[in-house]
Structure 1
Amino acid sequence: MSVLLEFAMFPTDKGESVSPYVSRVIELIRDSGCDYQLTPMGTIIETDTLSQALALVEAAYATLEQAGCSRVYSSLNLDIRKGKDNRMQGKVASIRARIGDINS
């Protein structure tokens, strides 16, 4: 099974620039050992199970809570597929191959 989770999580009570808080969440994800990709609008992770993905979301919230954040915004998108793995790279490679992308 492959679970792709695209999510964004950040405090809304810490001013205009929240990168110090977001970086704590990214460190947590990096240290978890799961594959991830940071994007300008969120982070994509790939795990083997839904419970692993949701545990990372919960740990991310706990990280912000411990940092003194009283209000946190989050959005989540999930793509769960049995019988597949390495989809984070595979899905992009499939599209690049179809359009003849020289960067693939």
Structure 2
Amino acid sequence: MRVSVDLCLVPLGVGVSLGPSIALCQEVIKASGLEHQLGPDGTAIEGEWDDVFTCVKACHARLHQEGVQRIHSTLRVNTRIDRVQSFRDKVGSVNRLMP
């Protein structure tokens, strides 16, 4: 089953700047080969269900490997079975409706 998620990953106890941890997670996501798009408050990832959730797990594992003791993540999960629609398609359909 195809899925798109919006992953917001917050490492706790690493100070105010989350950038270094997010950059590590982006390396993991890029290496997965999944379609993704970094945003200001999360990352959109899409692909097959197991691949996407394996990627989310790998992000957690990588940060723990780097010494992050605790991570709080929120996921918004979207599936549909009537047609295939990427996150880029969704954004494009809204943009076409705007003047």
Quick check: TM above 0.5?
A: yes
Contact persistence 1:2–1:84 (CA under 8 A): no
> What does residue range 77-96 of structure 1 map to in structure 2 within 5 Å?
77-96=76-95
C-alpha displacement of 1:56: 0.8
Question: How many positions carry a matched residue from both structures?
Answer: 99
* TM-score, normalised via structure 2 length: 0.91
Contact persistence 1:2–1:87 (CA under 8 A): no
C-alpha displacement of 1:95: 1.0
Q: What is the aligned partner in structure 1 of residue 72 from structure 2?
A: 73
**CA distance in structure 1 between the aligned counterparts of 2:36 and 2:77, rounded to whole angstroms:** 14
Q: What is the aligned partner in structure 1 of residue 22 from structure 2?
A: 22
Q: Structure 1 runs of 4+ off > 6 angstroms?
A: none
Q: What is the aligned partner in structure 2 of residue 5 from structure 1?
A: 5
Amino acid at match of 1:21: S
* TM-score, normalised via structure 1 length: 0.87
List gaps (5 residues or longer) in structure 2. Answer: none
Question: What CA deviation, in whole Å up to 9, does each residue of 1:71-95 have, x standing for no partner?
Answer: 1111000001125335211111111
Amino acid at match of 1:98: L
- Give the percent of matched residue pairs that are identical in Structure 1 and Structure 2: 30
Q: What is the aligned partner in structure 2 of residue 34 from structure 1?
A: 34
Contact persistence 2:34–2:52 (CA under 8 A): no
Q: What is the aligned partner in structure 1 of residue 98 from structure 2?
A: 99
